[in-house]
Structure 1
Amino acid sequence: MYWYTKNLSKKLVLFTGLALGLHACSSPEVEKKSEQKAQAYFDIPSFIQQEIDSLKQANPTVNKTVTKDKEEETKDLKIRDWDNEFSSFKAIDLNKPAYAGFIELDTVDSVIEYNFTNPDLDLACVRIAFNEEGKVKMLSVDKHVKNTLYQTSEFLVYEKGNFYIVEKNQKVRVMGENYYKVQGNLKADKTL
C-alpha cells in the first residue's frame, strides 16, 4: 500500500506542476488575443463620448420633445447633462463578450449593419452610416428585451449635428403598456 500512495503523490505533484505550467504559459498571450478579437467592432461608447464632449463644448440650443403615452411637451432649452441625455446610446457596446459569435456584419455603400443572430440578446440591429470622409454621420439601434415579466422595444437614432431620438415601448405583465419618446433637434446657433 505504501508504494501505491507514493506513486499517487508523485502523479499528483506531476499533474499539478503540468497544469500550472500550461496555465502560466498560455494566460497572458491568450488574454491579449481574446481582447484583440473582442475589439473587432466599431467602438460606440468612445464615439458617443466624443459626441458628448463636443456637445458640451458647443452648448447648442435643443428643441426637445418628450412624449409619455399620449402626452407631449416641446421646449427649446440647453442640455445641462449630456452624459445623462446620451446614456442609452453610450450603453450600446458591440464588443461585449455576450455578443461574441452572434453578430452578422453586412456592408452596403457607406452603411455598416450589425445583425444579432441570438434572439435572447438585447440587441437586434445596429446601423452606422458614414460620410465621404469616413466619419460617422448617423447611428441607429434596435433593442428588444423579452422575458416572462415584461417586453421592451427601444429604438435609438443619432444624426451627428442634427438630431437624436430615444423611443421606448414597454409592456409589463401586471402594469400594462408604456410608451416614451424623446426627440432632440439641435439648433444651428453653434456649429459642432
Structure 2
Amino acid sequence: MKTFKFIPFLTIAAVLLYSCNTSLSSQSTTTEFDIPQFFKEEVQKLQTLNPTVTKTVSNDKSSESKEIKISNWEKELAQFSTIDINKSGTEFLKESNGDTLIYSTPTDSKTKITVKVIFNQKLPVEISIYKKTQNLLFVNEETMNYNVGNSYILDKKQYVKGMGNNRYLIKGIIH
C-alpha cells in the first residue's frame, strides 16, 4: 500500500527531470553563424578555383607585393577560423540590423571580440572580425576582413611592455 503513495511522486519527478533535460539539450543545439565551417567551405572553393592573388605583406619598416598562387588556403585563412562564436563557454551578444549580424563579447570580457557578418540574399558577402587581448604585459589588436571571393586583410598590432609597438599587415586581392 505504501508503494502506491510514491507513484504520483515518481511520475512528477520523472516529468520534471525530462523537462529539465529537454530544455538543456534544446538550448545547447542553438547555433549561430558558424565561422570555422564557413571558412572550411571557402578554403575548399578557393583550392578548387586556384585563383591568382596580389598579396601585400608589410610591417612598420617595409612592404612587399607579389602576384602569387596560394598553395594552402587553409593556412592562408587560418586566423579567421580561430573565432568560433558557437564554442561553449564563450558568451556573445547578438545584434541584427537588416542584412547585418553583429556578435560581440560583453564589455567586461578579458578578450574583446566583435564579429560582423554582412549578407546579400541570405548569403554572407563580408565578414569582419576585431579582437583585442590585453593584460599587464601586452596588448594585441587584430582586425580581419574577408570580402567573399574578392579580398582579405589581416592587420595585427601588438604592444609588449619594454619592447614597444609592432604591426604587420597582410592584404590579398583575389583575381
How would you bin the TM-score normalised by the shorter chain? 0.7 to 0.9
CA contact (8 A) 2:132 2:140 kept: yes
CA contact (8 A) 1:154 1:169 kept: yes
Output one character per residue of 1:63-119: Cα deviation in whole Å (capped at 9) or x when no partner. 00001223100000000111111111011100122323xx22222221111122144
Task: Report how many residues are paired.
Answer: 160
CA contact (8 A) 1:99 1:121 kept: no
Output one character per residue of 1:111-143: Cα deviation in whole Å (capped at 9) or x when no partner. 111122144343431100001x21000000010
CA contact (8 A) 2:110 2:134 kept: no
| Matched residue type, 2:142 | E
Structure-1-length-normalised TM-score = 0.76
Residue in structure 1 matched with residue 3 of structure 2 by the alignment: none
| One of 118, 122, 125 as aligned partner of 1:137 | 125
| Matched residue type, 1:99 | T
| TM-aligned CA deviation for residue 149 of structure 1 | 1.2
Residue in structure 2 matched with residue 32 of structure 1 by the alignment: 25
Residue in structure 2 matched with residue 50 of structure 1 by the alignment: 41
Output one character per residue of 1:121-171: Cα deviation in whole Å (capped at 9) or x when no partner. 43431100001x210000000100001111000000000111000000000
| Matched residue type, 2:119 | F
Structural RMSD (CA): 2.1
More helix by share: 1
- 2:133 counterpart SS class: strand
Residue in structure 1 matched with residue 90 of structure 2 by the alignment: 99
1:169 and 2:160 correspond: no
Report the Cα distance in structure 2 between the residues aligned to 1:177 and 1:61, rounded to whole angstroms. 33
| TM-aligned CA deviation for residue 30 of structure 1 | 6.7
Q: Percentage identity across aligned positions?
A: 31
Output one character per residue of 1:36-69: Cα deviation in whole Å (capped at 9) or x when no partner. 14x2x11110001000000000000000000122
Unpaired segments ≥5 residues, structure 2: 1-13
Report the Cα distance in structure 1 between the residues aligned to 2:142 and 2:123, rounded to whole angstroms. 25
